[in-house]
Chains A and B, each alone.
Chain A
Amino acid sequence: MDVALSKSGTYMMRVFFAVVVAFLYAPIVILLIFSFNNSQVPSFPLSGFTLHWYHQFLTNSDLRGALQTSAIVAALSSILAVALGILASIALARRTFIGKSPVTALLLSPLVIPYVVLGVSLLLLFQTLGIQRSILTVMIGHVVLSLPYTILVLLPRLQQIDVSLEEAAYDLGASRLRTFRSIVFPLILPAVVSAYLIAFTTSFDEYAVASFVVGSRITFPIYLYSALRFPNQLPQVIAVAVVVMTASLVVVVGAEIGRRIAERRLGALEL
């Protein structure tokens, strides 16, 4: 007898799970259907198949520019966030220092601060320091946002690694840098990759903070947000939504599978 669920309970749960998953994916499927629909307004009945909207967004230079800006911002800010995340995680995992738990709390604090507050604070900070709002300020904002996520991914991984491996490297005369490069980094690589991807997707999708600190060169979410106010842009926005969503789903699911495989292999090595 199963201790957690009765037979009928399991059956009911399965149905409930299926319903929720359907609820979660239905809007995405609906977007997919209407991205091919030959009509200016997304409404029933469907009026025929077209690739027009995809073509339209490919030729829309504003949209492509925004996508490009977001890609640059996301790529650079997540490199920075991961680098800082690695350094912070090493400090938290390997050293003992006074005030460790307040520092941890501070590092993770952006997780529990509403984005609108972060956005406002960053705006005020840049204003006070006299920094022009630009793509750079957006990047800084995104580093602040994604740093806690990178730490949350990297820290448990670092804590899993046996410290004696590093000590052995020091004993054999390796410098700190060398130890990090040939021992620690390869071992945390899977976590680094997933931290990078999380940071990237966070930044690529981020509207709230960006809206406060963005300059004249807008990012994709900001373009999207303003485009939503114009009904005639809706079909191509739907098309671009489908492309971006598919891409991120593929990347996320792929990364998750890759991480599991890699960690299993590393796990075998460590034994």
Chain B
Amino acid sequence: MPIAIVACYSFNVYSINPGPHSFTLAAWHDFLHSAQYLALFWKSVKMALTVSTIIVLLAYPLAYYIALSGTKRKYILLLLLLAPFLTSYLLRVLAWKVILGNQGVVNTFLVWTGLRSANHPISQLLYSRFAVLLVLGYVWLPFVALPIFVSLESLDRRLLEAATDLGASRWYAFRRITLPLSIPGVIAAFLFVFIPTLGEFITPSLVGGTSGYMYGNQIVDLFETGFPDWETGSVLALFLLGVVAVLTLVFARFLRAPQLKAT
């Protein structure tokens, strides 16, 4: 019986991805020949790559510190890092909106302390690519630390001790042992951020303004504005899904083990 339910359910999960209703390749053709959509997609890819790379680089030392510094309060530190991730996504974006706006906390603080005149707020703070980058990084940072932490935690410290005994420096031991062994965690972390960021539309629409407009926003707009174009929207969504699926499959062998362990 459970198997039957699993089967039904997985079928459900799978069947929620129907393509365009009547079979035609016209929308696909339009999509592949439109510079606009592909440019937007490319922009999103670059944004997602930047965000993921930056926060993986930031999160790695954090995870390394928690996992390997030998502190007894490992899990308290981890929880401290993770707790913000478990609060509302939307509310954390809201917080940044309040902080970055022209009349927001940063600008008015600068004016108040006399560091900047009231007529010249730093207007690039909100509604810019920078804002999208900052907020996405902020939102995902704790989540990225987790898979890296898990892979570093399972590392056998004796390997490092052996390396040190054999005369390796810490840096050398890190490069030859710790880093290669934690690569699966790093890749999982990278994908866990890269994939949602690629389709992201909430943060760009709240703090991105026009220059932060991304592929995800385009999909939403095709479905929800006054002139809905569901067919093109579906094509865009399926294209995104295809790219993500390929990426996941490529990294599947790295991903599988850490994913099940990540809890």
Identify the A interface with B (CB < 8 A). 1-6, 9-10, 13-14, 16-17, 20-21, 23-25, 27-28, 30-31, 34, 41-45, 84, 87-88, 90-92, 95, 97, 103, 106-118, 120-125, 128, 144, 147, 152-153, 155-156, 201, 204-205, 207-208, 211-212, 221, 224-225, 228, 234, 237-238, 241, 244-245, 248-249, 252-253, 256, 260
Contacts and interface: CB of A to CB of B under 8 A. Distances in A.
A253 to B, nearest CB: 6
Contact of B5 (A84, A108, A253): A84
A125 B165 CA distance: 61
Q: Give the size range of B's interface with the partner.
A: 35 or more
Given A43-B105, A84-B9, A91-B6, A25 B191 contact: no
A14 B62 CA distance: 9
Interface stretch (B30-38, B87-95, B123-131, B179-187): B87-95
B54 interface: no
Contacts of B107: 43
B5 A25 contact: no
A152 B262 contact: yes
A209 B3 CA distance: 27
A45 to B, nearest CB: 5
A230 to B, nearest CB: 13
12 contacts: A4-B69, A10-B69, A17-B62, A21-B81, A24-B84, A34-B105, A44-B105, A204-B88, A221-B88, A241-B94, A248-B87, A253-B79
Contacts of A116: 199-201, 216, 219-220, 237, 240
A100 B61 CA distance: 37
B53 to A, nearest CB: 17
A70 to B, nearest CB: 11
A45 B13 contact: no
Contact of B196 (A87, A115, A147, A221): A115
Q: Is the interface of A mostly helix, strand, loop or mixed?
A: helix
Interface string B107-125: 1110110000000000000
B223 A212 contact: yes
A155 B241 contact: no
B91 A245 contact: yes
Interface in B238-262: 238, 240-241, 244, 248, 259-262
Contact of B88 (A13, A92, A248): A248
B193 to A, nearest CB: 12
Interface in B56-77: 58, 61-62, 64-66, 68-70, 75, 77
Contact of A115 (B68, B75, B199, B248): B199
B209 interface: no
B80 to A, nearest CB: 6
Contacts of A109: 13-14
B3 A95 contact: yes
B210 interface: no
Nearest to A197: B86
Contact of B170 (A3, A41, A114): A3
A110 B240 CA distance: 14
Contacts of B161: 3
A147 B16 CA distance: 15
